[in-house]
Amino acid sequence: MSFLGIDLGTGSLKLAIIDEEGREQCATSVAYAIDTPQPGWAEIDPQIWWRALCEAAARLPDAQRGAVRAIGFSGQMHGIVLSDAHGEPVRPAMLWPDTRAVSLLDAWPDPQPNPVAPGMAGPLLRWIALREPQSLRAARWALQPKDWLRVRLGGATATDPSDACATALADPAGNWDRELLARLGLPGEWFAPLALSYAAGGTLSGEAARALGLRAGIVLATGAGDTPCAALGSGLSRDGDALLTTGTGGQIVVLATQEPDAARGLHRYRAATDHWYRMAAMQNVGVALEAVRGWLSYEWHDAYRDAFEADAVSGLAFLPYLTGERTPWLNPAARGGWLGLALGTSRGAMMRAAFEGVAFSLRAGLDAIRQSGARVPVLRLAGGGSVDPRWRQLLADALDAELHAVDCPNAAARGAAILGGLAAGHWHAGDLAALAPTATRAAEPHSNPALASRYARFLDLYGRVEPWFAPS
């Protein structure tokens, strides 16, 4: 017996099969591209997701597919798929990087229970209501990406609290805000009923089973957003458990048994299980380091070598906010750059300042979480951008936290598979702690007064230049 996890990401679809003990047996992925028909738009034909799923499933060993008894779903959050009564999309899916609705955020005046971004379902659907009446008339359902895919497989039309609460159309527990929907001109019947992430949400249809090489009738879990699935797959199961992910952006997630208090710049969402989580979301981690590497004409090996062999320059600072910032500043207009350059500044020193600037931006997000009441002395560490031991040590020192690297390369897909096992009744909530993957201590923080001084300067610098970012 085994369980399949489907992680429907922004740029790729990943599959992972785990056995009865929660151990990964095999995994595969298929990449695809986002469409940008106009500047600031981010769309994709949902049928591309279906074809990617069929292609990825065909790469899995036949014996592993034959043993699957349940499927769970993880999905990119915030985007939206408008579909008709038969589940067919009436227009391309709109995704979280989409900024076309940035001028429509006045419908969500402060204070809000969670920060609202233009790529969330609420602002995107408001844009639809104002600009595409034909789509409005043709639509029967407004579904989250993973929910559309589950329906395509024969599952129930439903969503879960972890996805619903991140739409800007529901309260923090995921309950639809009917008054807000009416005020925005959005039909309330568009929005699927709530079900627990680990509840059974229908069974695999015969047509879908033939397309994927699986058994018809196996259980489909409702599923959850990719962030809570990654937390589950990485072993977060108790109050205070924390995870740092470093990819294109960065996220710090801290599990909580009770609903956290609202705090500016932080998200408080429902988890895939019966927990909540606080989340700090920082936009510029891998994207900023990759940009700097390109500007300085570095290969990654040389960039790490020169950056960590170079002495830190006390007068050199780098703001990494190349795409604006969410936590803690909530400033989409924020921008970045170096300050303190001199004729003798080396490439290595500039690269080192970039690593430090990214680490400081993560620390600013973690500070917001700590100020909200969570201690966070230890962080589980995941993400492809957190492998180099020198970078890990800098992160530990900057964050003042011990880092434990998680042995789980496909955390969101694994979390989705665990939801499948829960839906099938193979596991129960009390089993989750025992399913946590191995985590090895990767770095412990060292006292570094000079680094602390540079962090204080970083915060002061942002405060001084922030007025430049405001529209004229």
> Contact 437/398 with Cβ under 8 angstroms?
no
For the stretch 195-242, pLDDT in tens is 999 999 999 999 999 999 999 999 999 999 998 999 999 999 899 999
Task: Report d(CA 103, CA 409) in Å as an integer.
Answer: 38
List Cβ neighbours of 151 (8 Å cut-off, separation of 6 or more): 83, 87, 143, 157
If pLDDT is split at 50, 70 and 90, which confidence band does 11 have?
confident
What is the structure's pLDDT at 468? 83
For 2-227, CATH number? Answer: 3.30.420.40
For the stretch 296-330, pLDDT in tens is 999 999 999 999 997 777 789 999 999 889 899 98
The boundaries of every CATH 3.30.420.40 domain in the chain are: 2-227, 236-407+438-472
Task: Report d(CA 15, CA 12) in Å as an integer.
Answer: 10
Q: CATH class for domain 236-407+438-472?
A: alpha beta
Calculate mean pLDDT across residues 406-415. 90
For the stretch 237-293, pLDDT in tens is 899 999 998 888 889 999 999 999 888 889 999 999 889 999 999 989 988 999 999
Sequence length of the chain is: 472
DSSP string, 65-91: HHTEEEEEEEE-SS-BEEE-TTS-BSS
> Contact 61/138 with Cβ under 8 angstroms?
no
What is the structure's pLDDT at 374? 92
Task: Report d(CA 468, CA 472) in Å as an integer.
Answer: 9
In this structure, what token pair is assigned to residue 293?
């590497």
Kind of pairing between the strands at 250-256 and 242-246: antiparallel
Task: Report d(CA 329, CA 179) in Å as an integer.
Answer: 29
> Contact 175/156 with Cβ under 8 angstroms?
no
Residue 103 has pLDDT above 50, yes or no: yes
Kind of pairing between the strands at 2-8 and 12-19: antiparallel
Q: Which helix (H) or strand (E) holds 146?
A: helix 145-152
Among candidate residues 8, 7, 59, 421, the one with its CA nearest the CA of residue 212: 59
If pLDDT is split at 50, 70 and 90, which confidence band does 472 have?
very low
> Contact 377/242 with Cβ under 8 angstroms?
no
Q: Does the global pTM surpass 0.85?
A: yes
Report the phi/psi class of residue 371: left, alpha or beta, with left for phi > 0 and alpha for psi in -120 to 50.
alpha
